[in-house]
Homo-oligomer: A and B are copies of this chain.
């Protein structure tokens, strides 16, 4: 909760816990795809309006559910050891970032797809902004002319829907994805 928030009312806190717990149960049992807001409200013994006030939307709920694992990955590329974290060359860090991202998506794919779908402006997701900014900085360091736009191209190349569907629908192995990502970054940033 943001600083300066006046005080969270006790009933609000209680309902938030109920909702998160019920949501985790439902996702564990039936998968994120199958979670409906009505079912969640019902299972948490809470009104539907409460669900939406708390999370804003289905996508917001999914992002909340993701935030722990997401924070962990973010910590990894911002403060962790090289080659993912600081200390390695931009090229190595980008390769490691893409590989990490691909495995992260494959672990949390359902949640990520659900968080991205039905969100206008997927880019408004804070985690997406942070990833984009990270790649932008590395690309600038590596001498790319328009790092902002290039980072956007790479962001979409790592789109959760793309990764999940490649692997689960089109039968591409994760290794092929990471190998191809490595080839992409290697050719994009040859000077090392």
Contact = CB atoms under 8 A, between A and B. Distances in A.
A144 interface: yes
Interface in A63-82: none
Contacts of A161: 122
A183 B121 contact: no
Interface string A16-29: 00000000000000
Contacts of A123: 165, 169-170
Interface string A162-188: 100110011010001101110110011
Contacts of A172: 148-149
Given A156-B162, A162-B152, A162-B156, A180 B146 contact: yes
Contacts of A170: 123
A150 interface: yes
Contact of A166 (B149, B159, B165, B176): B149
A42 B11 CA distance: 47
B180 A150 contact: yes
Interface of A: 121-123, 144-146, 148-150, 152-154, 156-157, 159, 161-162, 165-166, 169-170, 172, 176-177, 179-181, 183-184, 187-190
Given A122-B161, A152-B162, 12 more contacts: A121-B169, A123-B165, A146-B179, A146-B180, A146-B183, A152-B166, A153-B157, A156-B157, A159-B159, A187-B188, A187-B190, A190-B190
